[in-house]
Amino acid sequence: MKRMFLPLLCLLALAFPVAAQSGKDTKPTMADEINKNISWPESEMVPAADAMPEDKYDFAPTAGEFKGVRTFSQQVKHIAAVNYIFGAAILGEKPPVDTGGESGPDTMKTKADIMKFLKDSFAYLHKAAGSITAENAVAAIKSPFGDGNTTRLSLGGQAPAHVFDHYGQMVVYLRMNGIVPPASRK
């Protein structure tokens, strides 16, 4: 019994400072929760966009009901552009880059440039989500899509849903090219 007491005492002595440090209020903020919801689709979208080889970035299915759909690169640029649009509306400013409307810049052609655009758009969206507080979350702001007013909280919820909508389409494109999406490889 005495042999167990000393290790237990040492463990408690080591745990006490950690417990004391974590005693401060660690309640998540609204911004924390919105950012968590943005991180989830980001963690699947970025690897999926990277998984498609550059020579397949202009792939789009053409048979059947796929006629006229966006190419893979257009899907990625669209997601990034709308991330910037959501972020700018939340922050009450103009997007810091050319979004090409909702399509992404036409001049952006290489996979490296498109991947940077995508990653930077998520960083900007996280910055915007970080500005959402309990005080400003439901204040009316102008919708970035010209359909009246909305709220920061609403846009913070729509952003991850929008990403996943297009992620689902991109998974089909990847699989049509014999590529298992990274999230499915686990």
Tens of pLDDT, residues 77-115: 999 999 999 999 999 999 999 999 999 999 999 999 999
30: confidence class by pLDDT, cuts 50, 70, 90: very high
**Residue 50 in this model has a pLDDT that exceeds 80:** yes
pLDDT at 148: 93
Residue 3: the pLDDT is: 46
Q: Decide if 6 is inside a domain.
A: no
Residue 176, domain CATH: 1.20.120.450
Instruction: Give the pair of three-digit tokens for residue 6.
Output: 């000393």
pLDDT per residue as tens digits for the range 114-143 = 999 999 999 999 999 999 999 999 999 999
What is the rounded distance in angstroms from the CA atom of residue 21 to the CA atom of residue 94?
41
Q: CA torsion angle for 159, 165, 171, 173 (degrees, to 10)? A: -110
- The dihedral sign for the CA sequence 93, 164, 40, 75: negative
> 13 in a domain, yes or no?
no
The length of the chain, given as a count of residues = 186
Tell whether 33 is covered by a domain.
yes
Q: How many domains does the chain have?
A: 1
Distance CA(150)–CA(148), nearest Å, equals 7
The CA distance from 58 to 139, in Å, is 41
How far apart CA 181 and CA 72 sit, in angstroms, is 13
pLDDT of the residue at 24: 62
Question: What is the domain range of residue 92?
Answer: 29-184
Residue 102 lies in a domain: yes
Three-state secondary-structure class, residue 140: strand
3-state secondary structure of 97: coil
